[in-house]
Amino acid sequence: MRRTLDACLFAPIGVAMTIKEDLPGLIDKGRSRVEQEISNARVAGEYVVGRYQRRFLETLDSIFHNDDPSATPTREEPVAGNVAPSPAATRPAPDVADTALVGAALADYDTLSASQVVRRLESLGPEELRAVQRYEAATRNRRTILNRAGQLLEQGHGQAASG
């Protein structure tokens, strides 16, 4: 009878009391473990993306800037009103000085996403912002970066930093 009472009454009460007392600690431990796993996954993902993004961009660049007409796929004629000049025809090659200035101001610029670049633009002076504009226009032409750099220049942002 005593074992039945222990198993049916006291054991569930003991488990319930233990859960009640230990639940906040278990929640914190679980949250910490999940956050650590997410952080590890994020770091691994950023590493993989950063490692292969440049290779991917170089491959795309070689595809779109290939001068061999036999290697260029044929395209259908554009619908009237949707005519856009080819990217290679409208973008000048990046200036060496701009490339150096952008590289010095924002390390690994070519591997950064537009949102990462935009966050860092406020720390740049006017000359660096202009170099970013010229470099970006000559390379990936990301509107968010070009627009934000233009806004900061119009606001006179970074004048104290450079002058």
Give 128: exposed, middle or buried? Use CB within 10 Å, 0-12, 13-18, 19+: buried
How many whole angstroms separate alpha carbon 148 and alpha carbon 124? 12
| Residues 102 and 132: beta-carbon distance below 8 Å | yes
Positions in the chain whose pLDDT score sits under 50: 67-84, 88, 160-163
Backbone dihedral region for residue 141 (phi beyond 0: left; psi -120 to 50: alpha; all else: beta)? left
Residue with tokens 């005519």, as numbered in its chain: 83
pLDDT tens readout for residues 85-103: 555 455 667 888 888 889 8
> What are the tens digits of pLDDT across the range 17-41?
888 888 888 888 899 899 999 988 8
Considering all CA atoms of the chain, what is the largest pairwise distance in Å, rounded to the nearest integer?
A: 92
